[in-house]
Amino acid sequence: MVPPEALRIPPNQDLVVFGASGDLARRKLLPALYELSRQGLLPRRGEVVGTANDGLDDAGFRQLAHDAITEFGRTGIDDRAFADFAQRLRYIPAINDPGPTLARTLRLPHRIVYLAVPPSSFEPILQELKEAGLAKGSSIIIEKPFGHDLASAQLLNRALQRTVPEERIYRIDHYLGKETVQNLLVFRFGNTLIERMWNREVVSHVQLTVAEDIGVESRGHLYEETGALRDIMQNHLFQLLALTCMSPPSSFDPEALRDEKVKVFQSI
């Protein structure tokens, strides 16, 4: 993982989280944002604006964030640090079209828009951003799965590229942020003894086990729409498989890593 001392404070910008009361936001995003705030690594100016299909207001969103950080945060919660973080938190219910309200709320010219929602919601949200005049200055983060098949993934890519340039699109598989997963590359390619034995002459088979300690819980709507196979196998497990089986990349740039992963998928 990247040590805190290697991180830089990003330029002033807002962060908009669609699906801000959902499982992903509660388990991952809000605790991570709080930790960045605690370490002084959020922009000096910029709000965290949540939106979802419920009746929360600013106070309710702050309470939701407090509960999420208490339950899922790695370092617990410090009252003073949370008070500083909570000053950034705003909430816009998405029961009706939130685009115009967002346009009135966001004061900075640049923003990150995080789509922590099911794939079927991606395109309507992108259209809302365009109609509200928010596409300019926005970077878009989308979580896997990217569509439900090749055709829908291609449609999604075209919709994204009609909204913002490719360099402002970030496709996220949060498994790749896990420390063990990141260390796999170092374990393989930083250890000549291991890498010399990491071949078909020595390795009889590769078995990937996802030993989750949680159930469906509040994610029923996601599994009804997407299914466990698309939610876990075609992204998380394939990424782990690629990191396990890929040849050494020419560099550790994203493009070089991607090219070696693609070779693994093409050989299956």
**Which residues are known to be catalytic?**
236
Taking the C-alpha atoms of residue 95 and residue 55, their distance in angstroms, rounded to an integer, is 8
Secondary structure E strands in 34-105? 48-52, 89-93
Decide the pairing of beta strands 89-93 and 111-115: unpaired
The CA-CA-CA angle for residues 77, 81, 83, to 5°, reads 100
DSSP 262: H
**CB neighbours of residue 36 within 10 Å:** 17
> What's the angle, vertex CA 221, arms to CA 99 and CA 218, rounded to 5?
100
